[in-house]
């Protein structure tokens, strides 16, 4: 832990990516997301991040939003072969066929899941019990029993590219778990509802 130039103490990871990372940490990471499109976006971006730097995805997020219709599941669910080909040529996103197809598959699964309670209900069904706030990054897990449970439930619902590690990262990003380190200024104001 160390203070930034503004005097605020933060988790160590946002210092490696400049203002983009600091802004993401300070304003977004760990904030509860309770909308279908918001969760669909985070799941999609976490899947695209697999094997890459999160900073790469964060900087390409405007391109992803434009390419995937603002992550509106209804619009992405009707993407066909022509859309996939278009996306494979889109330089503003990560052009990976498997991840593009997974995003379309997940949009369709999101729409279908509405009949069973919806993505928001499923995602927030795995909030872990209170646990001690981590003091170091070494104490932050890569995955948990809850992320494995949610990954399995998503796979049963037809989602793709949703392993326990990817899902845990999404749970962190969406505020289902709060992994701001003890002493981080965000830990003082972030609480899982």
Among 29, 36, 41, 46, the one annotated catalytic: 46
Of the candidates 60, 20, 17, which has an alpha carbon nearest to the alpha carbon of residue 41?
60
Task: Please give the angle made by the CA atoms of 34, 35 and 38, to the nearest 5 degrees.
Answer: 105
50 C-beta neighbours (distance < 10 Å), count: 17
Determine contact, residues 52/94, Cβ cutoff 8 Å.
yes
Confirm whether 21 is a catalytic residue. Answer: no
Exactly one of 24, 31, 90, 149 is catalytic; which is it? 24
Angle at 47 between CA 40 and CA 29, to 5 degrees: 65
- By the 8 A CB rule, do 45 and 103 touch? no
Does 15 participate in catalysis according to the annotation? Answer: no
Candidates 21, 36, 41, 54; catalytic one: 54
54 is catalytic: yes
Catalytic residue numbers, as ranges: 24, 46, 54
């Amino acid at each position: 832990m160390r203070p930034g130039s503004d005097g605020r103490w933060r988790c160590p990871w946002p210092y490696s990516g400049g203002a983009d990372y600091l802004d993401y940490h300070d304003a977004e990471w760990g904030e509860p997301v309770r909308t279908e499109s918001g969760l669909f976006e985070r799941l999609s971006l976490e899947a695209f991040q697999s094997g890459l730097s999160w900073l790469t995805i964060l900087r390409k997020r405007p391109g992803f939003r434009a390419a995937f219709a603002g992550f509106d599941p209804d619009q992405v669910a009707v993407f066909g072969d022509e859309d996939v080909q278009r996306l494979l040529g889109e330089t503003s996103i990560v052009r990976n066929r498997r991840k593009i197809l997974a995003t379309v598959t997940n949009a369709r699964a999101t729409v279908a899941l509405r009949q069973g309670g919806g993505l928001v209900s499923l995602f927030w069904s795995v909030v872990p019990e209170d646990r001690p706030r981590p003091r170091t990054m070494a104490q932050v897990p890569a995955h948990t029993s809850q992320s494995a449970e949610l990954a399995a439930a998503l796979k049963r619902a037809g989602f793709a590219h949703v392993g326990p590690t990817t899902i845990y990262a999404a749970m962190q990003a969406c505020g289902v778990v709060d992994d701001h380190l003890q002493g981080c200024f965000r830990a003082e104001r972030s609480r899982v509802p």
